[in-house]
Amino acid sequence: MNAQDQIAQQISENDVVLFMKGTKDMPQCGFSSRVAGVLNFMGVTYKDVNVLADQDIRQGIKDYSDWPTIPQLYVKGEFVGGCDIITEMTLSGELDQLFETKGVSFNKDAAEQIRAANA
């Protein structure tokens, strides 16, 4: 199975996938840490894919999404964005709306705590 097939499989088999540097328990860059931190704090169940473990996946996800940076978040097969977009969506409440629309479980109180802390 090539990298594109592996990526497609991860995205189709998991409701929420974060392609990141490191893992959700041990992120290895600040941007990946920020997105994983938001998802972890909000109690979202997600698959983390460490792009540092496989150079083909690291380049392949950039080609797959036509997006040049990592991390990259997918929800129910849809590319959502990278760190800046996820941060903006979290603070505006758009990420809550996306999760609600897609039927992804998350802690609404935690999301509101993030917004309150950044107000």
Model pLDDT for residues 19-76, shown as the tens digit of each residue: 999 999 999 999 999 999 999 999 999 999 999 999 999 999 999 999 999 999 999 9
Q: Whose CA is closest to 95, among 103, 104, 86?
A: 86
- pLDDT value at position 30? 97
Closest of 70, 67, 79 to residue 8, by C-alpha: 79
Please give the domain boundaries of the chain with CATH numbers for all domains.
3-117 (3.40.30.10)
pLDDT score at 1: 84
pLDDT at 119: 84
Q: What is the pLDDT of residue 59?
A: 96
Cα-based angle 24, 110, 107 (whole degrees, multiple of 5) = 80
- Give the residue-averaged pLDDT of 97-118: 96
Share of the chain above pLDDT 90, in %: 98
Alpha-carbon distances of 3 from 13, 31, 68, 70, rounded to whole Å: 15, 23, 16, 16
Q: In whole angstroms, give the CA distance from residue 118 to residue 96.
A: 16
Q: Rg for the chain (alpha carbons), in Å?
A: 14
Convert 11-38 to b/e letters by CB count within 10 Å (16 or more is b).
beebbbbbbbbbbbeebeeebbbbbbeb
* Confidence (pTM): 0.96
The model's confidence at residue 83, banded by pLDDT at 50, 70 and 90, is: very high
